Structure formats: C-alpha cells, structure tokens
A and B are shown apart, each in its own frame.
Chain A
C-alpha cells in the first residue's frame, strides 16, 4: 500500500482508462466468454432493429395479450435486483465480516439487473422516440398517480444508489485510500429500503388494476418479495462459486453458508405464498378465477402455459428439497443445481406465468393465447447477454482492484 493515497479528482481519468483496459483484457476463456455474450447481444440488437422498423406487430403480442415476454422478464429482473440486498443486510446490519468482503458482488448484481430491467421496458415501448416524454419537467410525468412513474423513480434511484456505492468503494480502493463510511454507509442503508420498494412498486403496477382479477390481489407484493429473496441469493451463490474457482479473489465458505440459510427460508416462504394463492383461486371458483384455472389446468381446450407452470412448480419444489437436505460441506454442487433450478422456476413463475394469465381470458372473456415468438426470444436473450456483460465487467474490475492488481500510481 502506498503511504499517501492518490488525488481524488486528478486520478479519475487514469482510473477510467485503466478500467477500460481491465474490462477488455484477460485470458482465452475470458475472451471466449465475452465474445459469445457480445455475439448473442448483437443477435438481439438485430431482432430489435427489425421490431423497431416494422412495429410490435412482428412479436406474438396482440390486443388480447398486450404484454408478454418482455414485461415478464422485466418483472423477473427487478426481483433479481431487489434480491441482491440479501447480501447487503447481513454485511451491514449484522456486521458479518466475511460477507462484507464480498458484498460488492451483490451490488454489482443489482446494477446489472436494473440495466436488464430497464432494457426490457424500453424494447417493449411502441415509441422509443417518445420516451423523453417520461422525463420530469421536459415531459409530462404523471406522478404520483401512475404507478409506472413510481417505478421509473425507484428503479433509477436504486441504480444510482448502487452505482454510487460500487463506484465509490472501487475508486477509493484503487487510490489506496480507506473508504470513509460517511460517504457510503448511509447510501447502503437507503439502498436496503429501496430494494424492497422496487419490487413492491413493480407488484403494485399490476395489483392496482381492478379490471384484472388475476393480478388484483394483495398477496402479489409479498409474493414478489419472497421470490426476489430466492432469485437474488441463488444468483449470487452461483456467481461466488465462479469467482472463487476462476479468480484469486478470496471468497470464504461463510457468505455461501449465510446465503444458503436465507434460501432455506425464502424458498419455502415462496412456495407457501404460491400455495395460498392457488388455494384461494381454485377453491372459490367463479369467473374471476378463470385466469388461474387457465394457467394451471387450461381452459376450454387452451393450455399453452400448463407445461410451463408445472415445470416451474416442480423445479421450485426440487430446489427446496435440495436446499434443505444437501450438506453444503460435501455437496456444494448440489446447492449449485438447486440455485439453477430455483432461478429457472421463478423465471417462469414471475415471467410468463405472471404476465400472460393476466390477459387470458381477456377482460371480455375471449380466449386468445400467447407464447413468445422468435423475435421476442432473440431480443430477450440479447438483453440477458448485455446484463451478463455488465456483470462480468463489474466483477472483473472489482476482483482486479480488490486483489491490488489495479491501483493508482503513488501521489
């Protein structure tokens, strides 16, 4: 460590330049990974360019099912971003030191997941060129009445909070200085509350619509939070496993065990809430439960979503069984499998399984089904590739700085 930290302002350009170097430099595996992601991203860009030119008519959406794959993925990605807070809480509220050392992984996940969710909203817009109408002051921002404006506020707020914390920590370490808690701890605490708000507001987006009984339920926000607290930790466990296998960054068993104990609770909580909802919908019957019947069993010969939702339930149950029974000491790979299973399960449940039944049957009880088409799959994969690019670059930068291989010249 240098005795005197580098100048906080003058060393910034060099920091950015070196960061760009780190982001584009690595071994053959790194290049292969980044090239593959870029290629998938470009496939997405190409599909989106077609959609932009010819209109959303080239997707599978219609006036009957007017939101689909994009809004489903948006919802899932917001959950992922919110779930990252499950690292922040032990690290800062419970002073778990080992977690504190790696909490930056969670914050980078939050940033990447918000980028993903914002991208999904934007590709879903009919008029991207009118998006500036959403800006406060120059546009007409229907706040506080429209829940979508709340979502804009909380999502961009969460993005900035996490960008600030991550940027501050990395830059200070780069300069060889000790981070000043006054400059980031208040933001970290704010981000904990904020994380809950992003997924709550996103749930309110749907649950506030009285004309859509499938969404118009108070359990939606709790369900969103419960599933977010599964996907966030599950993704982070996988990321930590990769980091400790592929880099010299030290990740102890502690954080993984802590996240596992979180998962053991949340995965059951999530299943419990799903169960409560399914019971209420199916036991009472009546036309307001038609969407749930469509989702789980099919309605009048239409059952496009049935195999999806039952796979989701099977994956979630299998994940719960593994989380609760596998020994993390000897069967870490089992935990990995369970993480993948619960991510896939909730991706279906909080994606297509949440959005599409809201529209089937339609408000006039017409049964028009929806499954994403090729364009939507390509755009979707492209956006997730973009998210992984952001996540990889962020992680690489953090690992390089934290292991002392990128630092400022001495002042």
Chain B
C-alpha cells in the first residue's frame, strides 16, 4: 500500500470508529421520558396564543397528564379580573411556625413528593430583631418556641420584579392582577431568574416531578399548579387557579392561627386594605427596591 491509500484507509477507519463511539456516547438519550411531540416543541408563547390555540394546548396537556400520570385532570386558564389586584399580609405575632401552609402548598400545587418541595419556607427567627442571618429553616423541635418568632417566606409578587427583568425569553411576567407567572412550556431553564430573586422564591424542576396518581390535585391551571415538565422554573402564583375563581390560597385556608390575610387591594372594604391601613406593616428587604405585594405585620 502506498502512503496515500494507507492514510485514506486509516482516516476511514478512524471516522467509522469515531462515529460508533459517538453513537455509543449518546445512548443515554433513549432514557429521556419527556413527551415532546412536534406540537409541544413548536408551541407558541402564552401571550401569542388565541383562545382556540389555547384550548387545543389545554386538551393536549390533559391527555399527556393522563398518559404520564394516569390521572384525569382538568387544566383551565383563568384570566385576571379587571379591578382586581391581589396582595397578601402575614401576622408575625400569631404565626406559630407549624408549617401547615408549606404542606398545603406542597399538596395543592402538585409538587414533587421525594424532594418535599413547597413554595413556602418558614424561618425561625430570634426574637429581638429581624435578622435573616439568625434565622433557620431546619428547626425540628415542637413549636412555638418561646425565644423565637416565625416568618414564612414565599413569592412576594414584586411590582419591580428582578426575575421578570432578567428572563431572556419573557417566559415569566407580571399579570394585570399583580401575580408573577411562568409559562412552563416557554422557559428555557437558564435559572437566571432564580439567581435574581432576593427571596429565594423560585424553584427549578431539577427532574421530572413524581407524584402518586391518587395524590395528584386534578384541579389545575396552565399558569399555576399543573404538573411541571422537567428542566423548567416554577413559583408561587397565589394559587391563581383558586383565587381568580373567588377562593382563598391553599396556604391561607390551611393556617390554624389566622395569621394570613389575602385579598383585593382595589376593594376598599377588603380585610387586606384594613390591615395595610391600620397595622404597622413592613416588607422584606425593602432596600433592594423590589416593591413586594407581600407584607408582614405585628400586632401592637
């Protein structure tokens, strides 16, 4: 064999081996369980879909839920009501740190069971100051403890929301009633918003959420508690599938002490307005300029 044909043969051999090794390296891809049809791949941004397109998408998502989780769910798309602007307030004098709100959130919002995910973190704080550095979330003793008070933290639905600003693809935005939402089918999973949030309110689906069929909450909405895909961001939506239909958030209903107050800011007779007008309220990390819709207060 002369030099040239020897080289050509070597190269062909090398290329064949390389291609085989490449195919072998990619083999784990076959274990991907996501249900990515052409329709879901090409699905438009939430704001670009008309009513008809949305109904097609909702039907497809319901079918996928049935196939993947074995449950018949109903996924709706409730929109903001004009003249409604939501806000939340939490009475730190009565909260006992029982974490019932966090558990209710976990169940209501179809969170992954193994990771015990919830949109609410309850901080146990030393009395005598509001110093987050002195707080801890992993307390295990009976509550309430005399030297401490408790501060649940969830999404503050900021009016100047850093998470919305940084999203490169507008997959997350603020709705007319003040709720910050994520289009789970548009998010690229870059987690820039999670880095931007000063309240640790956003959660990432590091893997596909797993929930036993009988525990799945079938009352779902596109922008809130439907079962999220792998690799996208999620967050508290003030339970918009409930609150936009006149109900209270799950965390509020679960609270045994009545520490939580939720309502429409634009209704002058609402309890939330009364709290904001008559209590000494404060917001967390006011200095970062986020203008939260989540307030804390103490009884005198």
Report A's interface with B, CB cutoff 8 A.
Answer: 24-25, 35, 38-39, 42-43, 45-46, 49-50, 52-58, 61-64, 66-67, 121, 124-127, 129-131, 133-134, 139-142, 145-149, 152, 205-206, 208-212, 287, 290, 358-359, 361-366
Contacts and interface: CB of A to CB of B under 8 A. Distances in A.
Contacts of B189: 56, 125-127, 130
Contact of B207 (A25, A57, A121, A359): A57
A208 B189 CA distance: 20
Contacts of A130: 169, 185-189
A55 B230 contact: yes
A55 B231 contact: yes
Interface in B52-106: none
B27 A45 contact: no
A142 B167 contact: yes
Most chain B CB inside 10 Å of its own CB: which residue of A127, A139, A206: A127
30 contacts: A24-B14, A25-B7, A45-B26, A49-B25, A50-B31, A52-B28, A53-B30, A53-B32, A53-B33, A54-B28, A55-B206, A55-B207, A63-B194, A63-B200, A124-B191, A125-B189, A126-B230, A127-B232, A130-B188, A140-B45, A142-B170, A146-B166, A209-B195, A210-B162, A212-B195, A212-B198, A361-B133, A363-B200, A365-B132, A365-B135
Given A42-B21, A140-B170, A145-B165, A211 B206 contact: no
A357 to B, nearest CB: 13
Given A125-B188, A287-B133, A67 B231 contact: no
A287 B288 CA distance: 14
Contact of A55 (B165, B191, B205): B205
Interface in B111-163: 121, 123, 131-133, 135-137, 153, 162
Given A42-B25, A45-B22, A290-B133, A149 B190 contact: no
B18 A53 contact: no
A126 B204 contact: yes
A206 B196 CA distance: 9
A127 B45 CA distance: 15
Interface string B12-42: 0010001001101111111111001000010
B167 A129 contact: no
Given A125-B190, A363-B199, A364-B121, A56 B206 contact: yes
A66 B201 CA distance: 13
Given A52-B28, A53-B29, 11 more contacts: A45-B22, A49-B25, A55-B230, A63-B194, A63-B202, A126-B188, A141-B168, A146-B166, A148-B192, A363-B199, A366-B136
What 8 A-B pairs have minimum CB-CB distances, sorted nearest first? Answer: A126-B189, A211-B198, A126-B231, A57-B206, A57-B207, A55-B207, A148-B168, A46-B25
A358 B189 CA distance: 19
Contacts of A127: 187-189, 229, 231-232
Nearest to B287: A210
B32 A52 contact: yes
Residue in B153, B190, B285 with the greatest tally of chain A CB atoms within 10 Å: B190
Given A52-B32, A125-B189, A145-B165, A211 B207 contact: no
Contacts of A61: 206
Interface in B211-255: 229-233
A103 to B, nearest CB: 32
Nearest to B47: A140
Interface residues of B, number: 67
A53 B192 CA distance: 22
Contacts of A152: 168
B26 A66 contact: no
B195 A134 contact: no
Interface string B166-183: 111111000000000000
A365 B133 contact: yes
Contacts of B280: none
A208 B192 CA distance: 11
B232 A362 contact: no
A363 B32 contact: no
A286 B180 CA distance: 31
Given A131-B188, A134-B188, A287-B133, A67 B204 contact: no
B36 A129 contact: yes
Contacts of B32: 52-53
A145 B174 CA distance: 15
B105 to A, nearest CB: 15
A52 B189 CA distance: 12
Nearest to A135: B169
B232 A126 contact: yes
B27 A49 contact: yes
B44 to A, nearest CB: 10
B291 to A, nearest CB: 12
Contact of B31 (A25, A53, A124, A126): A53
Contacts of B11: 24-25
B197 interface: yes
Nearest to B189: A126
B203 interface: yes
A66 to B, nearest CB: 5
A15 B205 CA distance: 47
Given A55-B207, A148-B192, A126 B18 contact: no
A364 B153 contact: yes
